[in-house]
Amino acid sequence: MIKRVQRNAEPLRDALALHTTNVTMPTATELEKMKKLEAALEQCRYISELLGGEKYVSCSVVLPALCHLSRVMEVTEDDPSYMIKFKGTFTADLEARKEKTNVTWLRFATARDPRFKDLKCLSKPDRVQVWDSVRALLQEMEKEKPAQPDNQVTPEPATKKPALLLA
């Protein structure tokens, strides 16, 4: 919407001048503010398209996407006051929404995705905690596996062992 207002500023100004209503064209200062807001909102549009795709989205992408948005919305010293207020409000809302998600499973899904296995979207202590949880889960699966007698031959091919992931 902001792009369209900026792209069609002249025709929009002419159309609004014909009407006697109280609707006015944004001032040059307001248009400049909109341009800065557009740059911040462009990242939100990208993440919305990434997470809104029906054929390719997976839960492993959610955590890196949220971390990217958090980094983009960090306040810098070059930001004017209205951008600081916008970024602060956006970040607070994002954190409130993050609290309602199952971050443990998002971390687990992200760790299992080869694209994000280094977990750069998490702090180093959190990375260690995630891999410790994965290791514990795999060890638990190995313990629960029923033991087969040595003399019994199974006609099925051998399955891959989760213990290989522990190495």
Is residue 29 situated within a structural domain? Answer: yes
Is residue 149 situated within a structural domain? Answer: no
- C-alpha distances out from residue 5 to 38, 48, 149, 164, Å: 11, 21, 74, 57
**What pLDDT score does 160 carry?**
61
Exposed e or buried b per residue across 82-97, where buried means at least 16 C-beta atoms within 10 angstroms of its C-beta: ebeebbeebbeeeeee
pLDDT greater than 70 at residue 79: yes
**What pLDDT score does 158 carry?**
61
53 in the same domain as 64? no
The mean pLDDT value for 80-107 works out to 90
**What pLDDT score does 149 carry?**
60
Please write the tens of the pLDDT for every residue from 104-161. Answer: 888 888 888 888 878 888 888 888 998 988 888 888 888 887 666 656 666 666 666 6
82 in the same domain as 13? no
65 in the same domain as 40? no
The mean pLDDT value for 52-66 works out to 81
Tokens of 35: 């341009």
6 in the same domain as 40? yes
Please write the tens of the pLDDT for every residue from 2-35. Answer: 888 878 878 887 777 777 667 777 788 888 888 8
In the chain, what percentage of residues exceed pLDDT 90?
10
Domain with 7, as residue range(s), is 1-57
**What pLDDT score does 98 carry?**
86
63 in the same domain as 23? no
Q: How many domains does the chain have?
A: 2
134 in the same domain as 65? yes
> Taking the model in full, what pTM does it have?
0.67
Whole-angstrom distance, CA of residue 8 vs CA of residue 71: 32
92 in the same domain as 76? yes
65 in the same domain as 107? yes
105 in the same domain as 29? no
Is residue 154 situated within a structural domain? Answer: no
Is residue 148 situated within a structural domain? Answer: no
41 in the same domain as 67? no
Is residue 47 situated within a structural domain? Answer: yes
